[in-house]
Amino acid sequence: MIVKILGIGCSNCLRLEENTRTALKSLGIEAEIVKVKDMNEISQYGIMRMPGLVVDEKVVSYGKVLNVQEVMALFNKPGQIRL
């Protein structure tokens, strides 16, 4: 699984990245976390609010710094993300 954090490097994006790492670790999910900072690439995902969270090329959240619980809930929700 590839998890991408979209954001140009402001504090919000860094916090989302941290929370995602923690959430994945406590769920025991092995995933490659990629930071996408290039505007050109970010714009391909069609989001207008930073930071964005992309799992296997699907935008699952944008414009919000999800906390650890929220990230975990996202990965546990059936239908949202297939593990």
Partner 1 sequence: MNVLYDAILKMTWLSDGIAWILTQFGLQMDQPLVISLHYFIYDTIKIFILLSVLIYTISYIQSYFPPERTRKILGRFNGFFARLLAALLGTITPFCSCSSIPLFIGFTKAGLNVGVTFSFLISSPLVDLASVFLLMSVFNPKVAIAYVSVGLLLAVIGGTLISWLKMERYVEPFVLKGGVTELDEEKMTHKDRHNFSKDQVMDIVRKVWIYILVGVLIGALIHDWIPASWIQAVLGEDKWYSVPLAVLVGVPMYADIFGTLPIAEALVSQGVGLGTVLAFMMAVTTLSLPSIILLKKVVKKELLILFVVYCTIGIMIIGYVFNAIQGILI
Catalytic residue annotation: 10, 13
Please identify, using beta-carbon distances, which residue of 11 and 26 lies nearer to partner 1: 11
> Smallest distance, Å, CB 56 to partner 1?
15
Phi-psi region of 40 (alpha: psi -120 to 50; beta: other; left: phi over 0): alpha
> Smallest distance, Å, CB 28 to partner 1?
28
Please identify, using beta-carbon distances, which residue of 30 and 57 lies nearer to partner 1: 57
What does the binding site for partner 1 look like in residue numbers (CB under 8 A)?
Answer: 7-8, 10-12, 39-40, 42-50, 59, 62-63, 65
Phi, psi of 6 (to 5 degrees): -95, 130
Nearest CA to 51 out of 1, 2, 11, 3 is that of 11
> Smallest distance, Å, CB 74 to partner 1?
13
- Cα–Cα distance measured from residue 69 to residue 20, given in angstroms and rounded to the nearest whole number: 9
